[in-house]
């Protein structure tokens, strides 16, 4: 597995990855999440052109997973990380997160943040146990994270418990 910045040619594949990865939400009764459409090619293109989209690729240079980020309150916010089910369980998502953590730490960024489902095994519990994130208390939320949560609520994601998480990068080796 290799991680590289995404190209414009990768973008339709990222949509395919997102659709396939979302299907597992059906298994936990979250059909609305499974049916949610991925970001548009235009939206993904904005991340790609800004240099804030990475892919984990196989030996044929085909994307198996991807990660996109936004700057939020001085931190790197993981807007989306998805792995195709055919590549699940191989550390692809964790490798993408560790890659971004190493880049951010090298630039002096204090932390990675993300929002996720609190009770879905491959979401918050995974990020805490395998990727070094901790759940933030309400009092620890920055203005940008509060706005992200408001936006998620407007999109109906609060039907299931959501949490904000943080991975401090001081001394991170990635």
Q: Mean pLDDT of all residues in the chain?
A: 95
Average pLDDT over residues 146-172: 90
CA 29/CA 87 separation, integer angstroms: 23
CB hemisphere CA count around 21 (13 angstroms): 24
Is residue 158 pLDDT above 90, yes or no?
no
Full-model pTM: 0.94
Is residue 170 pLDDT above 90, yes or no?
no
Share of the chain above pLDDT 70, in %: 98
Query: For residue 172, what pLDDT band results from cuts at 50, 70 and 90?
Result: very low
> Is the CB of residue 6 less than 8 Å from the CB of residue 54?
yes
Query: For residue 174, what pLDDT band results from cuts at 50, 70 and 90?
Result: very low
DSSP assignment of 93-111, as one string? HHHHHHHHHHHHHHTT--E
CA 171/CA 104 separation, integer angstroms: 11
The token duo for 160 is 């299931």
Query: For residue 9, what pLDDT band results from cuts at 50, 70 and 90?
Result: very high
Listed residue (77, 83, 155) closest to 112, CA to CA: 77
The token duo for 65 is 């997973």
Please classify residue 170 by burial: count the beta carbons closer than 10 Å to its beta carbon, then call 0-12 exposed, 13-18 middle and 19+ buried: exposed
CA 138/CA 140 separation, integer angstroms: 5
pLDDT at 79: 97
């Amino acid at each position: 597995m290799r991680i590289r910045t995404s190209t414009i040619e990768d973008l339709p594949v990222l949509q395919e990855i997102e659709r396939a990865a979302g299907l597992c939400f059906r298994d936990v009764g979250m059909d609305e999440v499974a049916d949610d459409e991925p970001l548009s090619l235009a939206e993904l293109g904005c991340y790609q052109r800004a240099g804030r989209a990475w892919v984990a690729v196989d030996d044929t240079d085909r994307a198996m997973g991807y990660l996109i980020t936004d700057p939020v309150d001085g931190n790197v916010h993981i807007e989306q990380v998805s792995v195709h089910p055919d590549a699940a369980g191989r550390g692809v998502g964790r490798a993408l997160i560790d890659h971004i953590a190493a880049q951010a730490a090298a630039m002096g960024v204090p932390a990675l943040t993300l929002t996720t489902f609190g009770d879905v095994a491959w979401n918050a519990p995974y990020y805490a146990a395998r990727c070094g994130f901790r759940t933030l208390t309400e009092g620890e939320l920055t203005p940008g994270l509060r706005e992200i949560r408001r936006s998620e609520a407007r999109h109906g994601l609060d039907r299931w418990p959501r949490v904000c998480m943080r991975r401090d990068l001081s001394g991170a080796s990635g």
